[in-house]
């Protein structure tokens, strides 16, 4: 049997469905019905999204947005360990705590690089088109097994911790998936053409350096708005990157794409819309300032963005 991206979606859907059930069973949860309904709808997208009519999925997304906008996604009851228990556990495990976390990238890399060789009776074990994502899913399962082995906990406790983190993130957990699609929506809506019209009308694109600055800074700004560099790239590439930097100045498109995405990641460091990068750490560390991670990243992001301008200008037109 070939492990495909569908199996990964099913696993995510099962975890979300379990979170929904646990939320509904939490009688001390002030918003258990609306929160449970929210996570239940989200689980259906992963479990049956390819089987449901697109209109139904769209209605489900709108309902989720309404629940989130009305404050219907809340935090349930979670029994936290004491600081002494956390300290004792950390002292007992030491650096072994990093093993499960490091297992994820290691397994992902091994699976991605060896996928084409993992063939039994002519059938590949991993979906070659999505080998990286499938390997990532396997890496997460391996990491869970290692964490249970090291700590002596059960997978059920892992599910409880998953629900705790899901509650801590709330509706922001949905942002990466929705923002990832936003770039395609913007592209189909002609936002890239609008950006091209505005930039060429009001900015002197006859100066190559100005065109580079517009592209690099634009990637960061659109990423700040969208929360996702992949969503920003189609807009800026279609508006400035391809028609101006590549078409007009005959620059290297590979350099444009790589440094452009790096510029977008600078914007990722500056926005709460990038929930998986900036909200998750604050929630995990239980920081009183939810924007503390962003504040710490501002100098690095701005310095790297300035460097990207000169890197793109020098490397793209060699």
281 compared with 306, residue with greater pLDDT: 306
- Angle formed at CA 88 by CA 103 and CA 142, multiple of 5 degrees: 15
Residue 152's pLDDT band, with cuts at 50, 70 and 90, is: confident
312 compared with 227, residue with greater pLDDT: 312
Q: 53 and 89 in one domain?
A: no
In terms of Cα–Cα distance, which of 296, 199, 202 is closest to 244?
Answer: 199
Least confident segment among 47-56, 127-136, 195-204: 195-204
69-97 pLDDT per residue, tens: 888 888 887 776 677 877 787 788 888 88
Section 202-224 average pLDDT: 88
pLDDT of residue 50: 83
Least confident segment among 34-38, 197-201, 249-253: 197-201
Domain count for the chain:
3
How many C-beta atoms surround the C-beta of residue 75 within 10 A?
16
The answer to whether 25 and 146 have CB atoms below 8 angstroms apart is: no
93-130 pLDDT per residue, tens: 888 888 998 999 999 999 999 888 888 877 888 888 88
Which residue among 99, 118, 153 closes a domain? 153
Distance of alpha carbon 208 from alpha carbon 203, whole angstroms: 11
Domain that holds residue 117: 83-153
Q: 93 and 64 in one domain?
A: no
Q: 226 and 146 in one domain?
A: no
Section 239-253 average pLDDT: 89
Q: 258 and 140 in one domain?
A: no
Q: 62 and 102 in one domain?
A: no
231 compared with 131, residue with greater pLDDT: 131
Percent of the chain with pLDDT over 70: 97
The answer to whether 142 and 107 have CB atoms below 8 angstroms apart is: yes
**What are the phi and psi torsion angles at 269 (to 5°)?**
-70, -10
Which residue among 123, 153, 183 closes a domain? 153
């Amino acid at each position: 049997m070939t492990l495909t991206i569908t199996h990964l979606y099913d696993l995510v859907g099962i975890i979300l469905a379990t979170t929904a059930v646990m939320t509904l069973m939490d009688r001390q949860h002030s918003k258990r019905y609306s929160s449970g309904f929210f996570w239940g709808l989200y689980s259906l997208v992963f479990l049956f999204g390819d089987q449901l009519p697109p209109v139904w999925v769209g209605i489900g997304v709108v309902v989720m947005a309404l629940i989130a906008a009305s404050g219907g996604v809340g935090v349930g009851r979670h029994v936290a360990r004491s600081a002494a228990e956390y300290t004792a556990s950390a002292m007992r495990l030491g650096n072994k705590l990093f093993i499960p976390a490091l297992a994820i990238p290691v397994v992902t890399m091994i699976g991605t690089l060896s996928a084409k060789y993992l063939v039994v009776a002519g059938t590949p074990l991993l979906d070659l088109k999505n080998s990286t994502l499938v390997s990532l899913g396997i890496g997460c399962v391996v990491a869970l097994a290692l964490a249970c082995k090291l700590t002596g906990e059960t997978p059920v406790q892992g599910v409880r911790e998953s629900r705790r983190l899901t509650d801590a993130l709330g509706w922001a957990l949905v942002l990466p998936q929705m923002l990832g699609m936003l770039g395609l929506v913007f592209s189909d809506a002609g936002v890239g053409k609008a950006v091209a019209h505005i930039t060429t009308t009001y900015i002197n694109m006859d100066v190559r350096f100005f065109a580079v600055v517009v592209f690099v800074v634009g990637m960061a700004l659109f990423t700040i708005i969208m929360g996702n560099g992949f969503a920003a790239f189609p807009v800026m590439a279609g508006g400035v990157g391809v028609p101006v930097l590549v078409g007009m100045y005959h620059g290297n498109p590979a350099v444009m794409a790589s440094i452009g995405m790096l510029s977008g990641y600078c914007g990722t460091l500056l926005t709460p819309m990038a929930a998986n990068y900036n909200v998750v750490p604050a929630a995990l560390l239980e920081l009183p300032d939810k924007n503390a991670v962003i504040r710490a990243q501002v100098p690095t992001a701005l310095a790297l963005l300035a460097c990207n301008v000169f890197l793109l200008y020098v490397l793209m037109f060699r």
